[in-house]
Amino acid sequence: MNELKNIWHQLITKYSSEEELIEEFWLEIEKAYSSPKRHYHNLEHLQYMSKLALKYQHSIQDLDTLLFSIFYHDFVYQATKSDNEERSAEVASQRLQKLRLAKSKIQNCYNQILATKSHENIDDKDCNFLLDFDLAILGDEPALYDAYCQKIRKEYSVYPNYLYREGRKKVLEHFLAMEWIFKTSEIRESHEKQARQNLKRELGRL
């Protein structure tokens, strides 16, 4: 994960020159996302999203805040809990205050992370990019999507198959019923068609 660490280092050194603090924050992120219970919501997921953010950076208004949101959006993650986003947003706020970011940036980061709870379209394109990057795997090539499905199932291994299938079916049907799965025109153009094919294929297997 050297590439991800480099992205983090380039980001945080804009706001702090304290090497100990920079390393402390990175190790904290690395530890949180390396829990053995995380099969999908891990460092690989962060790298996937970060690379998309850099790819589309010219369409993003505040790339730094969006990257901070990516790094912290799943900081707290327990598959059976419903307050992960709130707790993750709180951690992000506390860390960004230590970096002395502008209050407006901290608030935007907080709001963006909270938005990953409902994934509803809001009047903030940067936030909509975050939501699209978070779900972009849905519209990736079939082999990567299938690997994602297996990893998600492992994260929800506490549930027996019949319960998991029932819940997963509702999720897939919810996405397929939406007019658009993706909120930004950029990701919609590149991922929407494949996402619907992937979701229908998984639904047919349940």
Which value, to the nearest 10 degrees, does the dihedral of the CA atoms of residues 32, 156, 129, 188 take? 150
Q: How many CA atoms lie within 13 A of 121 on its CB side?
A: 8
Residues 31-89: tens digit of each pLDDT: 999 999 999 999 999 999 999 999 999 999 999 999 999 999 999 999 888 999 999 99
CATH class of 2-205: mainly alpha
Residues 133-173: tens digit of each pLDDT: 999 999 999 999 999 999 999 999 999 999 999 999 999 99
The answer to whether residues 104 and 116 touch, using CB atoms and an 8 Å cutoff, is no
Domain ranges for the chain, please list them: 2-205
Q: Which of 122, 97, 135, 75 is nearest to 15 (CA)?
A: 97
What pTM was computed for the model?
0.95
Q: How far is CA 6 from the centre of its chain?
A: 18
Q: Is the dihedral of CA 86, 87, 91, 92 positive or negative?
A: negative
